[in-house]
Amino acid sequence: MDAPVTVLSVFGTRPEAIKMAPLVKRLEQTPGIRSLVCVTAQHRQMLDSVLARFAIHPDYDLDLMRQGQTLTTITVGVLEGMEKVLTDCTPDLVLVHGDTSTSTAAALAAFYQQIPVGHVEAGLRSFDRYSPFPEEMNRLLTSRMAELHFAPTVRARDNLLREGICQGVHVVGNTVIDALQQMVHESYRFHSGELATLPLSQGRWIVMTAHRRENLGEHLQAICRGVLRLVEAHPDVHLVYPVHPNPAVRAVAEAVLGGHERVHLIAPVEVEDMHNLIKRCYMVMTDSGGLQEEAPALGKPIVVLRTETERPEVVEAGMALLAGVQEDDVASAGERLLTDAALYHRMAHAINPYGDGHSSEQIAQIILEWSRARRDMA
């Protein structure tokens, strides 16, 4: 019998963890695969909360997060840390996810040791190298280094083909749908005490998140002012905003939105609470990538608090309004969803473009086939 193929999954931030977790669980159960996990801990508490929910016990933990970390310090830390990990466990394949500093630096570390890289959620493009920053460049660089590309949609695959990346590209949907299906239940009870006490059955609830690096400062202030106008104009509207722990985010959120009786600024919530919160809300306003996939899958319209998106499928499918980052634009997009019942209904009933929740299974099978083909050629 052939030796198993050793797959090292590397991730470090909350969104990577949420989308890699169902895949790691699937790899663990797949005969013929030996699954190892390395976390960089680019995020700490937000990462650990996901690891705990999915009962993932990393084989390696680089423990990198520092207050005030920079793109350089994260990248250098991942490169140095991964060099030792890769030398120690010599995987056949390194899996990275998406577009963070962790994923690009981990792919580069693997490339330096000539270890093949598989890229999960490959092929997303905003076509603006500075927005989202630095994620668009991270994606481009990781695509160049990867041998296996797991694209969530046909459009993402086509982006890769246009860049001349034609080998090893597979359309598999998004693993976030796999995660959502395990999490959302009608009778769900929130773990977070703060969420459990919110009167979610009264009025209309907006779930907001905003943290993007290119929005920090003036844009985030304008976004918050636009959202506050909606709450002030509609007495039945409540806002719940789990605020990213980055001090630059927290300071603005508290300064602009703090103190209003229908605004609830809360600490980040664990993933299961978050998915069920989205399921129970009226709509989502966000600059997050992951929420642009989750909200449509849960039938919730989204206002995207950005000037571009690498997920145009959601806008084209009629599930999202791309509002931009100016106060008036944010307020008017939100206003449309609060006042135009026909628009709301249409947006809430469009079809999610990210698959049926079997992405992890497909990726595991593709890895096995790839490994067999490599061994046959050796």
Q: Residue 209 binds what, of ligand UDP, ligand UD1, none (CB under 5 to 8 Å, by partner type)?
A: ligand UDP
211 binds ligand UD1 (CB under 6 A): yes
The residue range among 14-22, 184-192, 321-329, 356-364 that interacts with ligand UDP, by the rule CB under 6 A, is: 14-22
Which residue, 320, 316, 336, 339, is CA-closest to 328?
A: 336
Residues 133-172 that bind ligand UD1 (CB under 6 A): 134-135
The three-point CA angle 207-208-212 to 5° equals 150
Residue 22 in the binding site for ligand UDP (CB under 6 A):
no
Our finding on whether 357 is near ligand UDP (CB under 6 A) is no
Nearest by Cα to 284 from 239, 249, 246: 239
264 counts as catalytic: no
Please tell me whether residue 69 binds ligand UD1 under the rule CB under 6 A.
Answer: yes
Q: 121 an active-site residue?
A: yes
Which C-beta is closer to ligand UDP: that of 71 or that of 233? 71
Q: Which does 274 bind (CB under 5 to 8 A by kind): ligand UDP, ligand UD1, none?
A: ligand UDP
Torsion of CA 64, 70, 71, 72, to 10 degrees: -80
Report whether 276 contacts 300 (CB < 8 A): no
Q: Which of 34, 170, 213, 358 is catalytic?
A: 213
Output the smallest distance, CB 211 to ligand UDP, in A.
Answer: 6
Binding segment for ligand UD1 (CB under 6 A), chosen from 7-15, 163-171, 189-197, 235-243, is: 7-15
Determine if 51 is a binding residue for ligand UDP (CB under 6 A). no
Could you give phi then psi for residue 188, rounded to 5 degrees? -60, 140
Question: Binding residue for ligand UD1 (CB under 6 A) from 5, 7, 9, 14?
Answer: 14
**Alpha-carbon span 171 to 151, nearest angstrom:** 5
Is 244 marked active-site?
yes
Which of the residues 58 through 97 are near ligand UDP (CB under 6 A)?
none
Using rule CB under 6 A, residue 18 touches ligand UDP: yes
Q: Could you confirm whether 211 is annotated as catalytic?
A: yes
Residue 15 touches ligand UDP, criterion: CB under 6 A: yes
Q: Rule CB under 6 A: is residue 245 a binding residue for ligand UD1?
A: yes
Binding mask 228-267 for ligand UDP (x = CB under 6 A): --------------x-------------------------
271 binds, among ligand UDP, ligand UD1, none (CB under 5 to 8 A by kind): ligand UDP
Alpha-carbon gap, residue 77 to 311, rounded angstroms: 30
Residue 66, SS3 per DSSP: coil
How would you write 3-60 as a 3-class SS string? Answer: CCEEEEEEECCHHHHHHHHHHHHHHHCCCCEEEEEEECCCCCHHHHHHHHHHCCCCCE
- Number of residues in the chain: 378
- How many angstroms separate the CA atoms of 279 and 207, rounded? 10
Distance (Å, whole) CA 210 – CA 205: 16
Residue 343's Cβ-side half-sphere holds a number of Cα atoms within 13 Å equal to: 14
Residue numbers of the site for ligand UD1 (CB under 6 A)? 13-15, 42-46, 67-69, 71, 99-101, 134-135, 211, 213, 245-246
Q: Which residues are catalytic?
A: 99, 121, 135, 211, 213, 244
